[in-house]
Amino acid sequence: MHSSRLLQNSLASLALALVLAAPARALEASPAVESAPPALPDSLHVPNGCHLSTLAYLTRFLAQYPQEAGEALVIEMHNDAGVRWNHTIAVISWHGQTWCRDEYFGVFALDCRYSQKPVASRLALKAEAALSRHSRSQLRSGAVSPLTPPPTDLSAQQRAADVETAASKVPFPATVFWVKSGQHEVPVAFFRPNSSQIAVYEPLHGTCLAECACRDDAKVVSLVAARLGLRPDSVRAELPAAHAVLVAAAR
């Protein structure tokens, strides 16, 4: 009788243990879902570098989360003085929802399902309003310090440093070109985001994008420089560091 009761107690304890263990296994099998996508902040910034930051972010984000989608979106921003300017942010999918990521203010939700083929104008208006609310909230809470307006002038040394940094941030092969204009040479970073598009970064103007079939990079840089008002007399590509060392050693 006593041994029977012990056996019943042992079976009851085993059943209880099995019941308690089952939810634990289920919890271990279901990894926690992150409520927000990672912002992946930049370690370095350059003036008017929002497009470069967005391209670098999308490359890192999609490499980490290949099941998600994303693209760059150009929106129009304005300040209290009514000054307007173009600004690039990333639009990404996150577990079926649409999120955005800004270079300085991080990630914020658009509170709508992600679509592979959205109406660009509607998406831009929604993103502009959401970024305005998000940035004001971040500034009020002290999460982000007030941003310094982009410079209107740069020393030759600072301009060259910013262009070198920009070229290193771009997730595509990039070349630094020097545009000779009168007695001065102005550096720019040139790259091709895809086979039909060119991009030229200049610190005071940001990143200029265009659809272009021309494969002569120097000619493209000269044309873009002229549009920026640089009045190019000539354009030369900067030699890669390793090549420059070999040339110097051969002399």
Full pLDDT tens readout for the chain, 251 residues:
444 443 344 434 433 333 333 333 333 444 455 799 999 999 999 999 999 999 999 999 999 999 999 999 999 988 777 788 899 999 999 999 999 999 999 999 999 999 888 788 899 999 999 999 999 999 999 999 988 888 999 999 999 999 999 999 999 999 999 999 999 999 999 999 999 999 999 999 999 999 999 999 999 999 999 999 989 999 999 975 443 333 333 34
- Taking the C-alpha atoms of residue 107 and residue 15, their distance in angstroms, rounded to an integer, is 47
Query: Which pLDDT score, from 0 to 100, does residue 33 have?
Result: 56
Query: Which pLDDT score, from 0 to 100, does residue 37 have?
Result: 97
DSSP structure string for 132-192:
HHHHHHHHHHTSSPPPPPPPS---HHHHHHHHHHHHHH-SS-EEEEEEEETTEEEEEEEEE
Domain boundaries, the chain: 50-141, 156-250
Q: Which of 81, 79, 213, 89 is nearest to 147 (CA)?
A: 79
- Cβ-defined contacts of 122-126 (< 8 Å, 24+): 123/73, 123/91, 124/73, 124/74, 124/75, 124/76
- Taking the C-alpha atoms of residue 246 and residue 251, their distance in angstroms, rounded to an integer, is 9
Query: Which pLDDT score, from 0 to 100, does residue 240 have?
Result: 59
- Taking the C-alpha atoms of residue 186 and residue 238, their distance in angstroms, rounded to an integer, is 12
What is the pTM for the complete model shown? Answer: 0.80
